[in-house]
Amino acid sequence: MNIQPSPAPAPFVAIVGATGAVGLELIKCLESRNFPLGALRLLASARSAGRDLPFRGADIPVQELTEDSFVDVDIAFFSAGASISRKFAPIAAAAGAQVIDNSSAFRMVDDIPLVVPEANANALRDAQIIANPNCIAAILTVALAPLHQRWSITRLSMSTYQAASGGGIEMMNELRDGTRAYLDNQPFEPQVLPHPYAFNIFSHNSDIDPETGYNGEELKVIAETRKILNQPQLPISVTCIRVPILRAHGIALQIRFEDHVCVDSIRQAYKGAPGVRVVDNMLNNHFPMPSEASGDPDVLIGRIRNDLGDPSNRTTTMFIVGDQLLKGAAQNAVQIAEALLEQA
């Protein structure tokens, strides 16, 4: 008589930073992906405690985050900033929770995996803390994964077009309010960003490193992409720009391969690849757009063509758009949790 093992009980899940932009998307992702959970605990600052947030037809009260918040928790999603993660993630891990952290706190720690499941699920191991990448690095490596698995990539060069969602609810609201003021010909003083956001573009607002001239966002993209692809010396050049879009980031990308790879082979590599959708209709000039990527779980890929500026014929150019709040943050975190359950 064969006795089947009993299924593992559904995990007790907590979300730290539940009332922020990514926290709210985490709740939606858990529901839309039908994530199996035994209970859900929503955590935030004292200012947000007491609010009710909807989940699967019920209202769940938001509790204040304390050092005792992780009793009985199996999986803890963190999306409340690096300082909160540095303080409370080790406490959650010590209480027995597996932590999936969306901040920058642990991404470049050597013994903590930085994971995009489509690109490096094999990096997941029996770790108590797992880092969720920077939004651009996550979207980028989903698009690179099917190519990286087949061919040797020797250089990446890109410019990014980053939406307000990367700065959270406050930045999204500043874009909304600034746009209304601009259209009404009213004065508006930005509070979140250093420059007017409506009908404007400017360099990403992270601090500039005086030694390299790169800003903090650009340095994150370089370091994290190398770690995810396990290519620590990969040459990467990136310029990160804020654009007045509410959500979904764009990337104009050039990929240099060790040898020539034809465009048809690249298109073939994307067929059936997880997490991507090719939008490349040259006849109708229809390519990836933030308006279509917003709310879409896939990374959209188009403008796939040979780089005429490379006489060696080894460079391919494309345009990528992905929802920062989904694949760039909340969805990727939930996919990591799904992978953990599969390994259990």
Residue 4 domain flag: no
Instruction: Report how far apart, in Å, the C-alpha atoms of 237 and of each of 108, 158, 212, 228, 320 are.
Output: 19, 6, 12, 16, 16
In a domain, 156, yes or no: yes
> How many other β-carbons are positioned within 10 Å of the β-carbon of residue 272?
8
Q: Which residues carry out catalysis?
A: 135, 249
Residue 22's CATH number: 3.40.50.720
Task: Tell me if 300 is assigned to some domain.
Answer: yes
The token pair that represents 193 in the structure block: 């960003």
Residue 5 lies in a domain: no
**pLDDT, position 89:** 98
The pLDDT value recorded for residue 9 is: 82
Give the mean pLDDT of 114-143.
95
How many domains in the chain? Answer: 2
Residue 230 is which amino acid?
Answer: N
Are 338 and 216 in a shared domain?
A: no
Q: Are 183 and 43 within one domain? A: no
Closest-CA residue to 99 (of 130, 121, 122, 126): 130
- Domain housing 16: 12-133+329-343
- Band of residue 293 on the pLDDT scale cut at 50, 70, 90: very high
What tens digit of pLDDT does each residue of 143-199 get?
A: 999 999 999 999 999 999 999 999 999 999 999 999 999 999 999 999 999 999 999
Strand positions, DSSP E, 123-224: 129-131, 153-162, 202-203
5 has pLDDT over 90? no
Do residues 115 and 222 both lie within one domain? no
pLDDT above 80 (res 140): yes
> pLDDT digits over 251-286, tens only?
999 999 999 999 999 999 999 999 999 999 999 999
Backbone angles phi, psi at 319, to 5 degrees: -125, 135
Has residue 6 been placed in a domain? no
344 — pLDDT class (breaks 50, 70, 90): confident
Same domain? 50 vs 182:
no
pLDDT > 80? residue 1: no
Let me know whether 283 and 231 are in one domain. Answer: yes
Residues 188 and 252 placed together within one structural domain of the fold: yes
- Mean pLDDT confidence for 30-46: 96
Tell whether 192 is covered by a domain.
yes
Looking at the fold, whether 31 and 167 belong to one and the same domain comes out as: no
Give the tens place of pLDDT for each residue, 74-118.
Answer: 999 999 999 999 999 999 999 999 999 999 999 999 999 999 999
**What's the CA gap between 57 and 240, in Å, rounded?**
40
Q: Over range 51-73, report the average pLDDT.
A: 96
pLDDT-based confidence at residue 7 (cuts at 50, 70, 90): low
In the prediction, which pLDDT does 126 show?
79
Residue 8, pLDDT score: 67
Q: Do 126 and 99 share a structural domain?
A: yes
Whether pLDDT at 52 is above 90: yes
Q: Which pLDDT does position 6 carry in this prediction?
A: 47
Within this chain, do residues 152 and 52 fall inside the same structural domain, yes or no? no
Q: Is residue 311 part of a domain?
A: yes
* Lowest mean pLDDT segment, chosen from 126-130, 211-215, 326-330: 126-130
Please report, for the domain that includes residue 292, its CATH number: 3.30.360.10
Same domain, yes or no, for 154 and 102? no
Q: Are residues 142 and 185 in the same domain?
A: yes
Asked if residue 253 and residue 150 are part of one domain, the reply reads yes
**In-domain check, residue 2:** no
CA distance 294 to 289: 9
